[in-house]
Structure 1
Amino acid sequence: MKKKMNLSPIFFVGPHVILFVIFILLPSIYGIYASFTKWNLVSDPVWVGMDNYRTILFDSDSTFYRQFYNGMKNTLIFVLLSVPLMIIVPLLIAASLEHKDVKFKNLFQTLIYLPGLISISAAALIWSLIFNKQLGVVSNVFGSEPVWAANQPYAWIIVIVITIWAGIGGNMIIYRASINGVSEDLYESAEIDGAGPVRKFFSITLPSIRFPLIYTLVMTTAGAFNVFAQPLMMTEGGPRQSTTVLMMYIRDLAFSHGESIAGIASAMAVLLGLVILIISAIQYYLMNRNAV
């Protein structure tokens, strides 16, 4: 007798696949196609081959060339400043909350996680008030009135602070769940051998949560390369475009108030996607090559 096919998984997976195809796969394919065209979002795209990429990457007299490299430089600065903190800070918090002498662990975890539930607009408003030149807590504590968003390194400081404040909760939850899964027998054996908290952290905790670390590193790095809202709302890309990241240039080119240059914007987005893909692959390889 022929076995009847079980269609139940299709009903669970099907909606996700349909949404993925409609909102991610097809737009991505069309975006790659648009990167080889001259397009203003209104008229039909005109195929120009590799012209957009040559202009962006090699034409030093072009505004698009300067925008791409300035945006990529600022994006890399943000990645290098934010990603290590977004990995290390929540990891240390999670490890600290697992210490047996710490009380009210769930309360502290909730307080740290709550900012992640606030929209980036509300978070930006809160920190704009905190860094306010005249009324802000920071200015009053330090007894000075710097214009934070208009000067470096203060502009980067407020962008990084709001990023850490709003983003560490998610990684902390992942680390706590992973650390909870580590066998207590390992820690007890290490204590018998005279291992202190630092040695136990590096010898037991870190190796045991290797794969959650790989996941959070890859996802946090990819998210950092796509940064947009924090510099837009906190510094508006200033001072002197020193915090104007690549996604801000892409948005302005694709949806500018003048003539849209969606083909150039699409080419920049494709290049950014390639950078993210390559760096993610390198991270995964380097962190996973010695895994058993």
Structure 2
Amino acid sequence: MIFLYKIFNFHWILRCLAVIFLFINLTNCAIFQRKNLILVNAVEENLVPKDDSAKIWASPFYIPVGILAGALDVFVVHPISVIPKAANDTLNALWTDRNNLPYVTRMGVIPFSLLLSGPMFTLSWSYHWLFEDSTEESKGFRPNKTLTTEEWISKLEIALESNSNEEIGDLLNLCELNTKTDKQIKLLIKVYQKYKSNARLNLSSMALYCLLSKGYYNPTIEDFVVQIFLKDHSLDIIYNNRNNLVAYFIQNRSQKGSKALIEMLSDESLNNRWIPFIVDNLFIFGYKEEKDEIINRVIKKKYSI
């Protein structure tokens, strides 16, 4: 054994085997999935000849280019493409959904959030780069894109009752394919109400998008958006979606909407970040009485713009 040990460096051999084993496992991971090899796919589509004999003659050209493209895909393009996902995970895990916490507790959590943001981002980025498999085959339920509005409503009702969040998300992704009936509008409002305090799932934002995407006027949607501004303006989800929400008022020149924004200004708990946004938009679509109210408040120096 001593003789063999002197001839072969077993530690070096074990390290090589470990690297080979790791590489074999990684070939099934995200960095080697075809959907993530954008440049390699482009090389195959545009540089590789279809004729077999031409492939042989052209191989000295496209093979090196393909290897370079693969290296760029794995170590540059794909890692950069998953940065938004990692940033979103970090924000959702450490910086959002704290509105229900007391002020002192929220302030006390900030140093820990700052401390953990770097490691959290790194771990999330590494996961999305190396291991995330978001191919359609790896996901569970995928609704048929030919669902009728009635089928879509039925499936969403069942998913809500069973708290199947992934299925709800899949169905919300298909909302544009279905006509907005009154029942569908009420169901989307129900989704928003159920998940508005859970920013991590993003289902409430998806429901808002579905309600506002068509753009046509509906009194139920108008009343719903008014109530959102009046009652939920403290939620980050509303502030983050403020432009889409107020666009509904602007498009329909909603007097209810302009009055709701004026009423928000009278709310003592209103965050000051809302004031410039409200004033700007009231001068865009507000009626004369709302504009006069803004001017009177400025004259009285109740706030500055």
TM-score between the two structures when normalised by the length of structure 1: 0.24
Larger CA Rg, structure 1 vs 2: 2
Looking at both structures, which has the greater relative contact order when contacts are Cα pairs under 8 Å and sequence separation is at least 6?
1
